[in-house]
């Protein structure tokens, strides 16, 4: 809990709707968990009654199955396929439009996104850690990306402690969860009779001060702490080290790459659900009738055929080199770029892989054989 803001408060279940209305009255559209197509997604939320209370999700390699929580909690699930990433790094962004004037000169016009102020309800520690990594990539390098920066500023983060990690989760081993440490406006932890709420920013403090809430008791704060520790202990998957550069970069010709390539469909699902993957492709969309062309960028994947295309040949022509590129980048060369691993332990790449490939298992196999 952040010391620079007022002490944590306690919000009973009946107050959850009041909190949502307070956020809405501060000018934010609320996006919260909802069930759609048998998955947990973020959809616009107008009140607490719309939350999928009592739902839980059982996750395993290649599996996401909705179940019911015996304790009827609001946030007893770990995560769905997407959380923050699409709200900052848009799946599709228009970059510029060009038309020719009557003299044949090119007239360029750039775009500035105008996102609605949005509160994301129930984001997890892994996703906040991933957001820090996306910030490092899009904002803190040599150049800062203005579209990302504008979208980033439009967000209000309502974090939620993970009490029920999925079988695919391993944030404790990457050091990114299950309790949110920073990067939120408000942070909640669900207890049997309500939530402990803390502010982590000025806007969060402002919303919290709109509610008439008692300070959380030391016992309640202690319970959330123990709940986080228990959730960390229950995680069954892990990576053997935070820095896997020596292991992976010294095994670039390991037989395991061929073995995993035989199972991998190169579909790119892992990169689409990964909260830190940042690759995007630029393409031109001509509109001959209107005499103009639109230049856009959209999410790309290092598993796509064209990702490493280079005039007449493909630098990564097969699944083996593509999977190796993904895994070595995520867990090894990311350190050279941003000073840490690119994996936050959310486990989405395991759950949403149609072949059920588990990166923790691939790393373990590599470690065993080397």
Partner 1 sequence: MGANLPASLLVPQPAVIVGRTQESPSIFTMKLCLEDAAAQSAYRHSLGQFNMLYLPGVGEVPISIMSDPDDRQAIGHTIRTVGRVTNRLAELQVGDRIGLRGPFGRGWPMEAMQGRDVVVITGGLGCAPVVAVIHYILRRRGDFGHLTIIQGVKKAEDLIWREQYAQWNTQPDTHVMVAADEGGTLWPWHVGRVTDLFDRISMQPDKAMAVMCGPEGMMVVSAKMLTERGLPEENIFLSMERNMHCAVGHCGHCQFGGSFICKDGPVFSWPQVKGLIAHRGF
Binding positions for partner 1, rule: CB under 8 A: 95-96, 98, 100, 104-108, 110, 137-146, 249, 252-253, 278-284, 286, 288, 292-293, 295, 297, 300, 302, 306-312, 315-316, 320-321, 324-325, 328-329, 333-337
- How far is it, in rounded angstroms, from Cα 6 to Cα 197? 10
Give me the residues paired with residue 28 across strands.
none
Between 223 and 333, CB nearer to partner 1 = 333
Cβ contacts of 14 within 8 Å, gap of 6 or more: none
Q: Minimum distance from CB of 19 to partner 1 (Å)?
A: 31
Between 171 and 260, CB nearer to partner 1 = 260
Q: Are strands 280-287 and 292-299 parallel, antiparallel or unpaired?
A: antiparallel
Between 225 and 254, CB nearer to partner 1 = 254
Q: Are strands 39-44 and 29-36 parallel, antiparallel or unpaired?
A: antiparallel
Between 53 and 245, CB nearer to partner 1 = 245
- How far is it, in rounded angstroms, from Cα 239 to Cα 168? 12
- How far is it, in rounded angstroms, from Cα 343 to Cα 360? 11
Between 230 and 283, CB nearer to partner 1 = 283
Q: Minimum distance from CB of 30 to partner 1 (Å)?
A: 28
What are the CA-CA distances from residue 281 to residues 39, 111, 298, 302, 314 (Å)?
27, 17, 5, 10, 16
- How far is it, in rounded angstroms, from Cα 284 to Cα 292? 10
Between 146 and 223, CB nearer to partner 1 = 146
Indicate the SS3 state at residue 9: strand
Between 191 and 349, CB nearer to partner 1 = 349
Q: Minimum distance from CB of 84 to partner 1 (Å)?
A: 18
- How far is it, in rounded angstroms, from Cα 325 to Cα 146? 28
301, 302, 304, 310: CA torsion to nearest 10? 130
Q: Minimum distance from CB of 195 to partner 1 (Å)?
A: 33
Q: Minimum distance from CB of 143 to partner 1 (Å)?
A: 5
347: region left, alpha or beta (phi > 0 left; psi from -120 to 50 alpha): left
Between 313 and 368, CB nearer to partner 1 = 313
Number of Cβ within 10 Å of residue 193's Cβ equals 9
Q: Which of 163, 233, 235, 154 is nearest to 195 (CA)?
A: 163
Between 230 and 282, CB nearer to partner 1 = 282
Q: Minimum distance from CB of 259 to partner 1 (Å)?
A: 16
Q: Which two tokens stand for residue 342?
A: 């690119």
Cβ contacts of 114 within 8 Å, gap of 6 or more: 150
Q: Minimum distance from CB of 86 to partner 1 (Å)?
A: 16
Between 227 and 276, CB nearer to partner 1 = 276
Place of tokens 């919000």: 11
Q: Which two tokens stand for residue 316?
A: 């990564």
- How far is it, in rounded angstroms, from Cα 315 to Cα 304? 12
Q: Minimum distance from CB of 359 to partner 1 (Å)?
A: 18
Q: Minimum distance from CB of 276 to partner 1 (Å)?
A: 11
Q: Minimum distance from CB of 153 to partner 1 (Å)?
A: 12
């Amino acid at each position: 809990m952040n010391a620079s803001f007022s002490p944590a408060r306690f919000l009973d279940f009946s107050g959850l709707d009041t909190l949502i209305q307070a956020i809405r009255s501060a000018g934010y559209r609320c996006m919260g968990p909802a069930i759609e197509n048998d998955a947990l997604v973020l959809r616009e939320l107008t009140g607490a009654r719309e939350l999928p209370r009592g739902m839980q999700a059982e996750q395993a390699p290649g599996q996401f199955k909705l179940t019911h929580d015996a304790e009827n909690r609001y946030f007893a699930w770990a995560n769905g396929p997407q959380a923050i990433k699409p709200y900052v790094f848009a799946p599709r962004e228009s970059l510029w439009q060009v038309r020719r004037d009557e003299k044949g000169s090119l007239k360029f016009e750039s775009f500035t996104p105008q996102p609605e102020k949005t509160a994301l309800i129930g984001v997890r520690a892994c996703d906040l850690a991933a957001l820090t990594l996306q910030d490092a990539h899009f904002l803190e390098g040599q150049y800062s990306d203005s579209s990302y920066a504008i979208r980033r500023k439009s967000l209000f983060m309502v974090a939620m402690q993970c009490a029920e990690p999925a079988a695919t989760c391993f944030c404790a081993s990457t050091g990114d969860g299950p309790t949110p440490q920073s990067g939120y406006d408000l942070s909640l932890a669900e207890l049997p009779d309500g939530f402990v709420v803390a502010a982590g920013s000025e806007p969060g403090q402002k919303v919290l001060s709109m509610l008439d809430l008692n300070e959380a008791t030391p016992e309640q704060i202690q319970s959330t702490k123990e709940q986080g520790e228990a959730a960390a202990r229950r995680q069954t998957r892990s990576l053997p080290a935070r820095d896997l550069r020596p292991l992976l970069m010294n095994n670039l010709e390991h037989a395991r790459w061929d073995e995993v390539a035989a199972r991998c469909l190169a579909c790119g699902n892992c990169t689409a659900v990964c909260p830190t993957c940042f690759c995007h492709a630029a393409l031109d969309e001509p509109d001959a009738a209107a005499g103009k062309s639109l230049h856009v960028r959209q999410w790309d994947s290092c598993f796509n055929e064209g990702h490493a295309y280079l005039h007449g040949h493909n630098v990564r022509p097969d699944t083996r080199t593509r999977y190796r590129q993904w895994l070595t980048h995520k867990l090894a060369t990311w350190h050279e770029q941003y000073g840490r691993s690119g994996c936050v332990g959310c486990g989405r790449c395991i759950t949403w892989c149609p072949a059920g490939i588990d990166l923790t298992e691939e790393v373990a196999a590599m470690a065993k054989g080397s």
